[in-house]
Amino acid sequence: MPAQRSSTAGGWGVVVATGMETEFGKIAGLSQLVTAEATPLSRQMDVLGRDIGFIALGIAALAVVVGLLQERGLLEMFLVGVSLAVAVIPEGLPAVVTLTLAIGIKTMMQKNCLIRRLPASETLGAVSVICTDKTGTLTRNEMAVVRVKTPGAEVTVTGTGYAPEGEFLLDGRAIDPGDYPGLRQFLRAVLLCNHATIAHDGDGGMADLRDPDRGGARCRGGEGGALPGRCPGGGR
């Protein structure tokens, strides 16, 4: 059957699995096995609640023993012990924790950070390392050539994104790629073996309409003048 046509190539494929039997299905199955972990604050609250419970039982037992030694009634001391145990438990603790988290969310809102759930503010405060990548928000889905190594030299390429701007530097000084046969041949091959499409976007910049890595290579090839005009504005 014909394979789905992508933005870079087309071809034929044979379907060997569908649904949950595919690799994506296996990944989906593994994601369903992930259980929600307790936040650091909830674990600390569990420990605090357990400790308070033990303290309440100890105080109640001590009060009952002291009352019995004073020859008071067992029922009376039992009620006293239960009353003391209940009094030790801080009933307002959950409300205080919720209020504290709400204040934290309000503070984050003042710093233009929107938090949907209360526990998220506490979890965010316990984070030490963030590893993330979100194309279009944290990144721009653009790639650029920064270094070219040929048998004759290792050249540094300046410039960012797909804008046809930048220089080729050898030992810190700008060079003309046309004076170096190895670099010139590399740039020519990059342009000829490339089907990326670079065009002006609506914001006045440059955008790759097909493949980011090929787009970055095409722009640097155009900057080098291997085939002038292949990258909009490129070629010197």
Known catalytic residues?
133
Alpha-carbon distance of 187 to 145, in angstroms, equals 11
Alpha-carbon distance of 25 to 234, in angstroms, equals 44
End-to-end Cα separation, the chain, in angstroms:
46
Residue 5 is classified by DSSP as P
**Closest among 83, 196, 70 to 143, alpha carbons compared:** 196
State whether residue 157 is helix, strand or coil.
strand
State which H helix or E strand residue 31 sits in: helix 23-32
